Each structure stands twice: as C-alpha cells, then as structure tokens.
Structure 1
Amino acid sequence: MIASDSDELENGYPSGKVNLSTNMLAHGGLQGISCLAAELGKTELAHSLKE
C-alpha cells in the first residue's frame, strides 16, 4: 500500500493513511507490466510482479 495523508479530492473526505485511487493505479500498472513480461518470455519476473 502507498501511504498518503489525503485523498484525491485534497482532503474532501477522510481517507485514513492510504489513498485508494493512487493504490489502484499502482496495482493496475503492476498487472500490466506483469502481462508484458509474460509475453516477452520473462516468466519469473511476471510471476514475481503478481505476488
């Protein structure tokens, strides 16, 4: 989880210690990189990115 002291609306809503939007973007990026690595035959890297 990526720590953040505010939400995407600049403290419009209480968000605790993490920002859901930022974390979902990071998660989606890692999934995309994992798929690309698998297509390039880098199965070990693809597997490690999914964990």
Structure 2
Amino acid sequence: MATTLINHIEITPGTWVGKPRIAGHRITVQDIMIWHERMGLSPDQIVHHYG
C-alpha cells in the first residue's frame, strides 16, 4: 500500500527501494532534484521533458 504525502509525493515499500516519488509516476524526488540542481533545468523544462 502506498503512502501519499502532500497529495503529490508517494512512498511505496518495494517500489524504487521505497524512495519518495511523484504520485502515479516512476520519477523520484531525487531525480527532480538532480535535474534542477545539477543539470540546471527549470521546473517548466522538467515538465516538458519528463511530464
């Protein structure tokens, strides 16, 4: 059973090693942080490419 946090982030034991991810997607919160902080993508760019 998935635990949903803040209506947009969920944690499901056994899925992606229990890492927090975007609800309904396989994109982890860590992925978004890397794309934004390390690769310099804006939120709009992230949504365009991965949404």
What TM-score does the superposition give when structure 1 sets the normalisation length? 0.36
Higher strand content, 1 or 2: 2
Computing the radius of gyration from Cα coordinates, the structure with the larger value is 1
What TM-score does the superposition give when structure 2 sets the normalisation length? 0.36
Higher helix content, 1 or 2: 1
